[in-house]
Structure formats: structure tokens, C-alpha cells
Amino acid sequence: MWSQVLSLLAGLLVLTLPGLVLQLLAGVRDLLWLAALTVPVSIGLFTVSGVLSGIPGLALSPLLTVGCLVLLAVPLALLARKLPGARTRARRRGGDFPPAVSPRLVTLARLGGAVLCLGAALLALRPWWSGLGDWSTYPQEHDTITHTWLTAYIARTGTGAPWELLPLDLLTGGPVSFYPSGLPLTAALTGELTAGPIVGFNLVTALAVGPAFVLGCAALAAAILRGLGSGPAWTSLAGGIAALVAAGLYRPGVQLLHDGGIAPNAVAMSLAPGIIAAALTLGGRQWSRAVLLGLGVAGAFAVHPSVAATVGLSLLVCWAVAALTRPGRRELRDRWPVLLTAGTVAGVAALGSLLGALGEATRTGGWPPDTRPAPLGEAVGTNLMFSYGGYLDPDQTYAQLSAALLVLAGVAAVLLTRRGWTALALWGFWLLAGIEFRTSPADGIAATIVGSFFYKSYVRIQSHIALFAPALAAFGLLVTALALARLVVRARRSLPLVPVTAVVLVPLLAGYVFLASIPYAQRNAEAIASRYADPEFVRVDADDRAAVDWLGTRSRPGERMMNSANDGSTYAYVDEGLPVVNVVTLGDAQLPYTYHLLADFREYPDDPAIRAEILRLNIGYVYVDSEAPLIGAGPGAPENWVGEPTFRLAPGLRNLDGLPGLRVAFRSGSVTVYRLDRKVLAGM
């Protein structure tokens, strides 16, 4: 128990301390910014540290990261002192909306907002705490195969530069196939301070898609209210309510991790609301804040480049709304120099990742859609009502109706008050994108413009709706409470409006917590457990652990192990540093032998080319798991070598017993490790 708590505190320290230090040294005292950018700025620092590790003689480590922190902190502090910038001014309120609040009630509202944010962060973390069972629990989903071994590779080698990641050969470090490394970099650093790559990966994932997402949504809601000229009381309450709504949402984090282990996309998407909030509240001539924003954008981009579309398209929506009014156009004119500065900083800090992402752009946009066209009514209903869908709920039987009702209340509130258009526009844009993609996933507007950034994946596009629902829901709940309070005040004219609003708001929030937030969190915990603590399918289990432990005491330096990455074999590298032949489940086109051996390894007695490849690679062991999970093999198999739409067991690793030079060295359950006598092969 205490070891779990200490690991959690260490992970929290890694994700928050660097970003907090940089912001405080830059003179940032705005709680909105601290909530929005602390984690993205920390990951941005790790991204810069990774780039520096590409310099010969430097290796990524906590020490290098501390040095990089100092190098960034000093000029940032000097910049903040020399060019402090101007404070952002809230727009003047129109009429009595929202009503003015006395100083004493402002303090209480701020405290209430802080309590709501803290409670929401804990509520968002709870499903991960219980669903994992232990921070060292092995993930079972497909994509986490890559995330975990890449985390281990960074930790073992100190390699962190984007042009050096992902290595397809663990012994030589090349060739390299670009892979977003912001998450593995952060996980590797966290693992060094805790208990290794698995613990580091699980901690960073849980904290980013849980508490960091919740605080980012709080910051976005507060930023939108601040843009309306609301005082600190209303912005604090709006942030707290948005955090509470975000804490129970199934998307983006839980579903993306459940339906494929899509961790980098989930983390980057979870950071987006905070980044957008910071961009919306960046004032003219706030140069040090512009640098921080650019560093945060670079960090999120390094986690997954698709965040450029998430943030970029969303900001275009916000600016389009602002451009409809004269004050909005004036603010845009005032802010473009600092926004350009932030973009420049982001481009420089993430240049390596940017170049790598551009090289993969064609492949990313060339994937076929992952869903079939649906009727318009179904597309509208499932997106509007926050149905679970996916692998958890394939028949779309369940939905987060309470959250949907709050969002619809927000829509009504915007239309009736004619305020909060930014919140409605953000949610509406991504809602329309999700609906249009669902109805025309192959050739629709959303598929062409938006889908190419997200592998034509419906679950990724649909998840964007959840990023902006909390802010709209918070606005709706506040306006509803104000409307009910006005009814009470009209009946009892002696009662003050603001205190009555607070009295009305408390039971509304309490009802949502007990009727929605807690049940939602429980279902999220069950979904997470089905991929971790109580998995529905198993990729790595006790048999794999036993095999890896056995291999760790016997494998020789420079000796490779033949494997299929679709089973638990890659954890031989994660846990023991044993170089496996295949780190990609279906092989990679840059190294044709990876999939040639998967297809024909067992033909080595009769195929001299296969024998020569085995001897060249210095393969000493062969790892076979006869109960690997089923995965899709569509466009991911080079040369379509699988020949089928799905893949489970490599043909070349079946029926190996009795082959010359190959003997069973270890067997436990479905896992068998063979010892290969290369002398026998050399003599054939």
C-alpha cells in the first residue's frame, strides 16, 4: 500500500515539479495557467532533454533533465523580469450577467472551486488505482507492447532524441522508424525514480488522462467564463464544475486505453483543453508566458503529433467566434505577436518530432476507416448521448445520459443568454465532425480534413467531443442555478441572488456526484480492470514472467531471441534487456527478415536463406506462446504477408518440436522457450 502511494507521489513529482518551477520563475501566479500548463510544460522540458541526449556523450537521465531545467529557467526568469508584459483584462460585463459577488463570497467560491477540482482529480484517478490493482501490472492491449519496450529502451540506453526512436533492432539501434516519444520519455524518467518502465508507464498514463485532463477542462471552462468578463467567483465555480463532469467521462482516456491501448493519443488529447485555455488567456506582450505555452505545445506534440489538429482546429473555431465581435477582433490583433512567438518556440522545441511526423503523414492518412457508415439518426444519438460503444459496449446499450443532459442544458443556456458562444462552438464543431465521420467514414468532409490526422479512426475523432463537453456543461449548470435562484428571489424579494444561487447549486452538484460521477467512475474502473487487473484476454501472464526470469539468467550478450511481438515475449527486453528479433507485431518493411522469419522460420532445415539469416542474427533462443491474442492484420502487414485480415500465431513458429538443432529448454503453460544450436545449423 505505502509503496504504491510513494510511487504515485514520485510520478506526480515528475509530471508537475518541472512545469511548476518554470511557470513560477516566469512570474506566473494565475491558477488557471498553473492548472492548464504544468504537465504539458514538464513534458516539453523532457522533450528538449531528449533532443539534447542526441549529442554524443550525453544520455537522457534525471540529471540531464535537471540541467536542462536550469538552462531554461534562467533565461525565462530574466525574460519575465525584463519584459513582464501586461496583465490580461477581462471584458466588461453586459447587464447583470453574471451578477457581482461580494469579496467574502468570492473567497468562498474560490475555495469551493478548489475543493471541486481536487475532488474531481481524485475521482478521475480512482479508476486507475483500482483498475490496475498495482502500478506494476502489465498492460494487455496491443499498442502498449510498443509503449512499454520503447520506455525500457530509453531507460536502458539513455537514448531520447526523436531521430533515434523507434529502433527496429534493439542491438544496433537502427534502422529507425519514427514514433512519438514524449510519453515513453516521461515514463522512462518516472520509472527511474520508481520501480522501472512498467510502473513509470502506468503512472504517467493514469495521471495524464486522469487528473491532468480534469484540471485542463477546469482551466478551459474558467478561461471561457473569464472571456465573458466573469469575476473570479464564477470562473472558479465553472472550473470546479467542469472538472467534476470531466472526472467521470469515458472518453478520451479510458476508451482509448481500453480499445487498443492507444496511450499517446489519449495523453496528448487529455492535455489539449489546458493548452487551449492557456492560448485563450494569453495576453499581449506576455512574452515569458508565450515561451511557456510554446514549450507546452511542443511537449504535447512530442506525445502525439495529432494534437496539432486537436489544438489547431479548436483554436481556429475560437478565433472565428471572437472575430464576429469588435472587441474580439481587437484582442486577436493584440495577441497575434505573442501567439506567433509561442508557435515559433513550439516549432523549435519539437523540430525533431515535427520532421519525423511529416515523414509519416502519408501513412497516417492512408489507413482505411475503422467503422462502417451508420444512419444519421444513430450517429447523432450516440454522439449526443455519450454512448459508450467500442469494445466495451459494441451494441451501444449504455450512455452517460446525465453528462449529456448537462451539456444540452449548456446549449440551451448559450442560446437563451446569448453568451458563451465559444463553449458551444467548440463542442458543436467536434460533434458535427464525429457525426459526419460516422455517416461517411470513407469519403466525407471529416474523413478527408480531420480523419487523416487520426488514422481514420472513429474512436479518436469521437473522443474530441468529450474534451469540450465539461466547459459547456459547467456553463449550463451555472445558468440553471442562476435561473432557479431568480425564481426564488422573485417569490422572496428580500433574499439576495448570489447566496440563493449557491444554495441551489449545492444540491445540484451533490446529485450529479452521487447519481453520475461516482457510478461513471465505477464503470471506468471496470473497463480499465478488463485490460489490467482482471483482463478479458491475456498477452503477458505468469507463464511469460517465468520464462523471462529463466531467460534472464541464461541469455548471452549479443544473442538475439526469435519471437512474435504479439505475445509476452517483448517483456523479455522490458524486464531483462534481452534483445528480441521482432519489436513490431507484424514485422517492419525496413527489416524484411522480421516478417520473413515470422512466416518461414520453421523452414530453416530446407531453406538455406532462412538458415543464413538465423546465423547472421545470432539467434540463440526461440520464444513461442501458443495462446497469443487475436489482432487485426489489414494494412499493418508488410507485403500483406499474413494473407488474412487477422493474426494470432506466426506460421513460422508453429510445430517446432523435433526440428534439428532445436530443443525445448523451458516450458510453462502455453509458453515454450527453445534453445537453438547454431553449430547444427551451420553444418547443414
- What pLDDT digit, counting tens, does each position of 239-268 carry? 999 999 999 999 999 999 999 899 999 999
316 burial via Cβ count (<10 Å: 0-12, 13-18, 19+): exposed
Residues 159-201 have pLDDT tens digits of 999 999 999 999 999 899 999 999 999 999 999 999 899 999 9
For the cut 60, the answer to whether the pLDDT of residue 92 exceeds it is no
For the cut 60, the answer to whether the pLDDT of residue 332 exceeds it is yes
For the cut 90, the answer to whether the pLDDT of residue 491 exceeds it is no
Q: What is the helix (H) or strand (E) element at residue 624, kind and residue range? A: strand 619-625
For the cut 50, the answer to whether the pLDDT of residue 566 exceeds it is yes
Average pLDDT value over all residues in the chain? 92
| Residue of 551, 537, 528, 536 whose CA lies nearest to 628 | 537
Is the pLDDT higher at 90 or at 19?
19
Q: Residue 95 — very low, low, confident or very high, per pLDDT cuts 50/70/90?
A: very low
Q: Residue 97 — very low, low, confident or very high, per pLDDT cuts 50/70/90?
A: low
Residues 124-162 have pLDDT tens digits of 999 999 999 999 999 999 899 999 999 999 999 999 999
Residues 629-678 have pLDDT tens digits of 988 887 778 888 988 888 999 999 999 999 999 999 999 999 999 999 99
Q: Residue 94 — very low, low, confident or very high, per pLDDT cuts 50/70/90?
A: very low
Residues 312-328 have pLDDT tens digits of 999 999 999 999 999 88
End-to-end CA distance of the chain: 56
Burial of 179-196, coded b for 16+ CB within 10 Å and e otherwise, reads: bbbbbbbbbbbbbbebbb
Residues 577-611 have pLDDT tens digits of 999 999 999 999 999 999 999 999 999 999 999 99
Cα–Cα distance, 570 to 168 (Å, whole number):
12
Q: According to the model, what pLDDT value does residue 85 have? A: 63
Show the cell assigned to 501: 444561487
In terms of DSSP H, where are the helices of 350-388? Answer: 351-365, 376-384
Q: Which CATH number fits domain 542-683: 3.40.50, 3.40.1350, 1.20.120, 3.30.160?
A: 3.40.50
Query: Given phi > 0 = left and psi -120 to 50 = alpha, else beta, which region is 375?
Result: beta
Q: According to the model, what pLDDT value does residue 52 have? A: 94
Residue-range domain boundaries for the chain: 1-84+93-530, 542-683
CB of 505 within 8 A of CB of 477?
Answer: yes
- Taking the CA atoms of 60, 342, 460 and 645 in sequence, report the sign of the dihedral they define: negative
